[in-house]
Structure formats: C-alpha cells, structure tokens
Amino acid sequence: MNDDFLFTDDDTTTEEETSYQKTWKVLIVDDEPEVHAVTKLALSDFTFQHHSLEFISAYSGAEAKELIVEHPDTAIILLDVVMETDDAGLRVAEFIRQEANNQFVRIILRTGQPGQAPERHVIVNYDINDYKSKTELTAQKLFTVIMASLRSYRDIMSIEKNRMGLETIIKASANLFSNHSMDTFINGILRQLTSIINCTNEAMYVTSLVADDHLVDGELVVVTGQGEFADLEGKKVFEVIQPNMKDAFEDAINDKDIVYGDDFIVAYCESHSNHRALLYIANISEELSATDKHLIELFTKNVQIAYDNVILTQDIEDTQREIVMRLSESVECRSEETGNHVKRVAAYCRLFAEHLGLPEEETDNLVLASPLHDVGKIGIPDRILNKQGPLTPDEMTIMRKHSSMGYHILAGSERPIIKAGALIARDHHERWDGTGYPEGKKGKEIHLYGRIVSIADVYDALRSKRCYKEAWSPEQTMAEIKSQSGKHFDPELVDIFIDKYQLFEEVLQQYPD
C-alpha cells in the first residue's frame, strides 16, 4: 500500500462497526471536504485500547467552537489554520484553552500554508500539542501522531481522574463517620483505583450486602457507582447488571474471592460484620498486570473494614441516643406524661434551631439532649410529682430542685449530648426577665439551649392534657406565649414561634399522646 497521504474525491466512507461501547472522539476542523474524507479513510481501521475513533466534522472556526463545547470529551482536534479567516484555527485554539477551559483535548494544527502561521511562532504563543504541514502528513505519520496523541490524552485523563478521586477522599475524610461521607470516601478511592490500573470508567460500582426495612436480608444493593452505574445508589444490583453476570457475583460471594472475567472483575470484599460488599469493574480493555491485581486485593481487604468501623461507630451513637430517649421517657412516665412529650419537645427544638441557622452539629446536640430537660424529676417524690391540684410552697420548693438535680446528674461528662443535656436541665426554667429558677438568670445569661427548651416545653404542656388540667386551645396557647415575650421567653424565639406556629401544630399531631 502506498504510504502517501493521497486526497480522494470519494467522501462516502463508513466508520467500522465496533462492539465496544466507548470510542475516542476526533474533531476534524477544515474548510475542505476532501480533507475530512481522506482523514476518515486513512484512520478507518484505527483502534487504541480496543476502541475505535468517532469522527466529528466542522468546516469553519465558528462551527468548531460550537462542537467543542457540545463534545467536551473530544480527545483530539485536527485543526486547520486558514479557513474563513487567515487565523481562524488559531482563534479556535485560544477559545478551547481560555474560554471553553478545556486543557485536556490534544490539538494538532494542520496547515497547507505554513507561511501564514510559522511553526516557531505558533508553538510559542498558542497552547497546541503538535504542528504538521499537510504536505508532510502521510498516512503512516498521521497514524503515528494520532496514536501518540491518544496515549497522551489517556494519561492526562488518568491523572485528572486520580486528582478528582484524591479531592473526593480529602473532602470526605473531614467527616468520615457519617454515612454519606463514607460513601463519598469509597467513591473517591474507586476513582483512584480505576485511574491507577487504567480501567475504563464506564461501568464500575460497589455493592453491599445489607438488610433494612425495605430489603430482604442479605440482598445486594448499589452503594456507590461511576460511569453507567452512577446515581444508582440503593438500587438492587441484579436489576441493573446484565443477567449473565449473576453467576460471577454468586461465585465471588460463595468463594469469598475475586472473579476475573474477560473484561470484568467481581471482587468479594472482606468484612468483620454481616455488611459485606463486592467490587465490580466492567469493560476492562487491557489485561491486568500483577500490580493491578495487587491493588485490587488491597482494596477488597481494607475498604470494607473501614466501612465496618463506621457502622460500629454509628451503632454506638445510636445506642447513646436510644439510652437518652428511654431514660427521658421513663422519667416522663412517672409524672403521668407520655414518652411522646419528649419526642415532641425534641422536634420543636429542631424547628427553632433550623430557623436560627444553628450549625448542623449544634442542632443535633440540642435535639438529642432536649429529652433530658426533666431528668432531675427522678429525685422528686411521686406524691409531689403526681399531686392533683396546686402545690404548697414547701412542695413547690422541692419540685423546683429538679433543675439542679438534673444538672448535677449530667454535669462533668465530656460527651457533647450529655454536656448539652446538663445545660438544658439547669436553665430551662430560667425566665428572660430574671424571675425564674434555680439561679435567677435573665436575658442571654440563660444558655440558648435552655431558652429554646423553655418555650418548647411550655407550648407542649399547654397544648396537652395533664393530671391537673385540660389541653388548651391553639388560640389560648398562642395568646399566652405572645403575652410572655420578654417576660418568660426570649422575644426572638417568640417571633419564630408565631411565624412558624403551624409547623409546631403539625408536630403535635404527628406525636399524639
């Protein structure tokens, strides 16, 4: 076959069919139709990493700008210099790098008039990757420059994917002990893994053996995914993979091992709990090296263990929350109040915190600690706690001791929820005007948590039936709390209560006695 790059009038060439899903996009920018035809012909059987080329044609600089924005994943641009203007191609190169901010595509400048754009000037002043005269570009040289450019593009994209994976890991590492952050963390590691072993990003995701209210015990679901499996978190695995892949998944589970297919991997991830997982990478275009397989083995041995540790931490936190709630409910039951009182107070506190714009961590501490507001009642005798009718002055003195008792029960802990509970127990009966107890604090001397729980507790007490009274109507309750603005309650909190009153009523209906 003649190695000369011969132009032809035949522009009816067809691209070779390929069984692979991915192609390398090549944008041909030239105002001569013959150049498009001969380029496609010369590269019609070209493949790189088992993927063929997908040609996109532009016949002017303006059209090229539109297409590069439409196809940001273009790998190579074969760019003519002289088109509608003498420097149209150079303007396109500037647009790609500066306005489209595409630093990845490889730009090969082709010109039939080198004098219009001297090579030294162009290389120095424009961010292009190669410069070729059309007269020197034989079929073999075109093949060579495309191959070299694709290798460069592949490596650049691998570095970028690695960078994105590292960025994802760093962001997630700031708060690993939340479910969402751990999933993000794993996603970042998966990006790193696939970039290092040069896998395709088209079909890669992690699955986990979990059980919850919605799934059968031991069912496989997607935890995080990339490529075609992105945004499928929570989906059942066997609903999103090809049916012929089911055997490979079951083999990996039964053998607790890695299954290497012709173009895929299904790897069982070791675990100390029942929340085991699988790693699945599909559409692998090259044979994996020993180093690649070693990295995959490291992933399967370590990532799920990290996930297990997060689950254990969350279990400890959930246990702490449950103990707090059950202790609070037991105290309320002594005074003939239902456990739903503390649930409602917690929900009211969240409404206040959100509308005050408190940070998420502070909001959670307040909400989780608020059920402890009356924990000191555990030291109050039943004859006083459940007395039908008004208390005597002596009985009232004893009853008021529950604030101090609650504080001393909880004080001294380093746990954020217990520390918050101590502040709430101490301050939730203080009044804005200084006439409250146990210390007669006023205004912002009273801790914010105490001020919030104070109005939440009183609202719920007024709207609920007690052994000594019937439930007040919404109108009576609203009028009473308005009248206590600046006296009993923080005026800012009263304003929030009035503005969001319907939300408080909805909580009351959600957790009835």
- Which strands make up the sheet holding 47-48, listed edge to edge? 47-48, 51-58, 24-29, 76-80, 106-111, 130-133
pLDDT at 138 over 50: yes
d(CA 202, CA 282): 7
d(CA 501, CA 497): 5
Q: Give yes or no for a contact between 61 and 83, defined as CB atoms under 8 angstroms apart.
A: yes
Q: What is the pLDDT of residues 426-472, one digit of tens each?
A: 999 999 999 999 999 999 999 999 999 999 999 999 998 876 678 99
- Structural domains in the chain, sorted by start: 24-156 (3.40.50.2300), 175-312 (3.30.450.40), 335-510 (1.10.3210.10)
d(CA 130, CA 119): 10
pLDDT band at 147 (very low <50, low <70, confident <90, very high): very high
Q: Pick the closest to residue 428 from 391, 465, 395, 456 (CA basis).
A: 456
**What integer pLDDT is reported at residue 321 of this predicted model?**
73
**What integer pLDDT is reported at residue 291 of this predicted model?**
74
Looking at residue 270, its amino acid is: E
**What integer pLDDT is reported at residue 11 of this predicted model?**
40
| Least reliable range by pLDDT among 73-77, 309-313, 419-423 | 309-313
Q: Which residues pair with 76 in a beta bridge?
A: 26, 106
Q: Does the active-site annotation cover 377?
A: yes
Question: 369: phi > 0 → left, psi -120 to 50 → alpha, else beta; which?
Answer: alpha
Higher pLDDT, 88 or 213: 88
**What integer pLDDT is reported at residue 205 of this predicted model?**
57
d(CA 508, CA 19): 61
**What integer pLDDT is reported at residue 204 of this predicted model?**
52
**What integer pLDDT is reported at residue 262 of this predicted model?**
83
Question: 413 φ, ψ to 5°?
Answer: -75, 150
Higher pLDDT, 472 or 20: 472
Question: 241: phi > 0 → left, psi -120 to 50 → alpha, else beta; which?
Answer: beta
d(CA 109, CA 118): 11
**What integer pLDDT is reported at residue 185 of this predicted model?**
67
pLDDT at 482 over 70: yes
d(CA 172, CA 227): 20
Mean pLDDT value of segment 99-116: 84
Q: What is the pLDDT of residues 180-229, one digit of tens each?
A: 556 666 777 777 677 666 555 654 555 655 444 343 445 778 877 777 77
Candidates 161, 377, 387, 465; catalytic one: 377
Per-residue 3-state assignment (H helix, E strand, C coil) for 455-478 = HHHHHHHHHCCECCECCCCHHHHH
Q: Give yes or no for a contact between 191 and 226, defined as CB atoms under 8 angstroms apart.
A: yes
| Least reliable range by pLDDT among 299-313, 382-396, 400-414 | 299-313
**What integer pLDDT is reported at residue 136 of this predicted model?**
78
pLDDT at 272 over 80: no
**What integer pLDDT is reported at residue 509 of this predicted model?**
92
Hey, is 28 helix, strand or coil? strand
Range among 160-164, 241-245, 366-370 with highest mean pLDDT value:
366-370
Task: Dump the DSSP string for 326-350.
Answer: HHHHHHHHHTT--THHHHHHHHHHH
**What integer pLDDT is reported at residue 363 of this predicted model?**
94
**What integer pLDDT is reported at residue 187 of this predicted model?**
73
pLDDT at 21 over 60: no
pLDDT band at 338 (very low <50, low <70, confident <90, very high): low
Looking at residue 232, its amino acid is: L
**What integer pLDDT is reported at residue 327 of this predicted model?**
73
Predicted TM-score of the model (pTM) = 0.51
pLDDT over 70, % of the chain: 79
**What integer pLDDT is reported at residue 114 of this predicted model?**
60
